Chain A
């Protein structure tokens, strides 16, 4: 009996190790694909200058949709950045989703809002009550919708979609700052290939610690908090390499809700954002893909590695935990909703590669990781753990994890170069190592709890992240020097 138990524990440990190595191999392949793409872009950035896209009469107009709930800390910076976009034709539709702070008052005062009769362009269902619609009288193309909150970001976005008038809609988080050319760059695929491109996303980076002046990140800096630094590495790895690789394989599932551009007619056609979903951004992309495949229409989801949106990331473990549980819960909902697509070759690379990957490695990953840790602890407790072998295996797992992050940092330094200070680069490298010890395991625990919540069919709830606002500097020019 004792022998059998030992065999089970050892077998579990080896299974977990095999799983981890397989995951690392898949990730490394994605990283290589992404790195190859990035390396090619260093030689030649393509045929088009962004100035030409700006000047082109066929560049479509964009409605920027910003849902905001209690965002007084940074809403004016976000709006300044959104309205200051270098783009030929855009409007901003801000939804004040039942804010209890001064979000609306600040915007009303700054942009001298005046009430107007709503001009609706779609009839998507909205659960919250629309209280009033306002327009800026300062000459800025800004519309503000006030509504009661039902605790769902998707509801606020659907309200914005009902009032958006342009053929492309960009969804932007209210705690995010767009770089001046971000919209122009992410819209480029739509200009070049309007018949096929249905969605495009750009790079999101952690804004915490960066110096901001009137909605512009004047000097990207890393926060002094290690939790934020680790997330900065996570974002680099995910956006600079992972998504580039998925997009190259024509299997990109996630366009971040913090900054994504979509064809408006298609979003309306599929009924807007699903109000039951916690992962409304990924759900939107997969629903659009499924719809296009069903009707036999062309579809391409594009990731543009250049345009940058700076966003606030959680600064405490509690807030991070809530965010990651929500993501995991949302992913489980997504995979359940679109379960018929998983492994289905009719859905191309999305069905045969991306969805199975998300099921096996993203959704079930934390289960395996937590079970693996438990089995190692159990084996150690029973005295059946070969410490030498365990150390070698754990060392390899750490090394591969560090390699993935280091590759992302190398891509950042060799190409995009947003972090210019040497100390920030050193901090990124240290965070890439530290991430594997402690953070990764806690992260797995958060995700596991999200999965459990989904399995228990708990009512999805969109939790609000406390905002600290952006770091400003009285003398940005000096800081930049």
Chain B
């Protein structure tokens, strides 16, 4: 027994030492917290006037003041915090200041650091602070071994605002080191309307994930030039259902009346309730009277969510749609309750409810 007991005693002593170390760390952190916070606030108060002085100078010939270049490192944090809130020349002035203080060059050096958080932090900093100067290095990080770094690189490319990044971002939708579509979506949206031509082109590309993502983004942009391409996607029965749903939703956001016909076709003939529902919602957004009859037919759909979407869409069609709903609401059948519920949604006044059992 002596052997095991001795080992256990040793382990116990090690565990106790760890507990004591942790407790000391907790006590120190707690005691220092207030002091550190007060110091940070004081430094911020001291350094803010310097930042304002830099911003008030003429951005063309106003080189950073010498005392600002040599100011403490806390200044960098203040500037980085301020940067996303600024635009135009003020933003450029602060970017120049960061470059002058060596922040940008240090971040560039950190892009190949061993620790992933260093690489991630560096690329994020470059995205907001370095403009389009280091796009190639940032694109390389789209293939980083760490997913978080790849995501940071994508977002940084979006913030940097160079449309040349659209291609690499779309390529990152697939492959062994693919990036989550939401991250890429936000990055592509950050690039703004300059990315639209490349996005439209990729709607006909072979990459299915990219097609779905791009369809959604074109809808968010409300790009009317993309409507014909998106309509073709909705019509294409051989296309992936997710892509067709994204395209239908995008057509609703764009709101072109020419899209009514393919959306009506999808609502009436698709076997997929998801596509039917999205098409009904899109028809409601577009608000073309030609959709009234197909939407009325949709009130009898098997899927309850499709019925609800059709009723809401009819309510959005204006007086005609409302009249149709009122006719249905007073009649018998499964369509009546959804029609009554949709009418309830209209206007500020809440209509008198039917007893729930009556449904």
Contact = CB atoms under 8 A, between A and B. Distances in A.
A18 to B, nearest CB: 11
A359 B352 CA distance: 53
A150 interface: no
Contacts of A403: 15, 18-19, 22
B331 interface: no
Nearest to A407: B22
Given A40-B117, A399-B19, A410-B22, A116 B341 contact: yes
Interface residues of B, number: 59
A406 B189 CA distance: 44
Interface in A183-197: 190-196
Contacts of A388: 5
Interface stretch (B101-109, B180-188, B258-266): B180-188
B151 A46 contact: yes
Interface string B149-193: 001101110000000000000000000000011110110010000
Contacts of A399: 12, 15-16, 19
Interface string B289-321: 000000000000000110010000000000000
Interface in A380-397: 386, 388-389, 392-393, 395-396
Contacts, number: 152
Contact of A56 (B151, B186, B340): B186
A309 B220 CA distance: 32
B1 A386 contact: yes
Contacts of B38: none
A5 interface: no
A115 B12 CA distance: 64
Given A131-B356, A399-B16, A413-B30, A429 B151 contact: no
A389 B1 contact: yes
Given A43-B117, A192-B182, A413-B29, A406 B19 contact: yes
A58 interface: yes
Interface stretch (A61-69, A117-125, A172-180, A365-373): A117-125
Contact of B304 (A46, A115, A122, A131): A122
A402 interface: yes
Interface stretch (A132-140, A327-335, A340-348, A461-469): A132-140
Given A44-B120, A57-B189, A396-B8, A402 B19 contact: yes
A121 B341 CA distance: 11
Given A116-B353, A121-B304, A389-B1, A194 B12 contact: no
Interface string A398-421: 011011001101100110010000
A8 interface: no
A422 interface: yes
A190 B186 CA distance: 13
A396 B15 contact: yes
Contacts of A58: 182, 185-186, 189, 216, 220
A379 interface: no
A30 to B, nearest CB: 16
Given A58-B216, A413-B26, A192 B305 contact: no
A130 interface: yes
Given A117-B359, A388-B5, 12 more contacts: A47-B148, A48-B155, A115-B352, A116-B353, A117-B340, A120-B308, A192-B180, A192-B186, A195-B180, A400-B15, A406-B22, A406-B26
Interface of A: 40, 43-44, 46-49, 52, 56-58, 114-123, 130-133, 135, 137, 165, 190-196, 265, 386, 388-389, 392-393, 395-396, 399-400, 402-403, 406-407, 409-410, 413-414, 417, 422, 425, 429
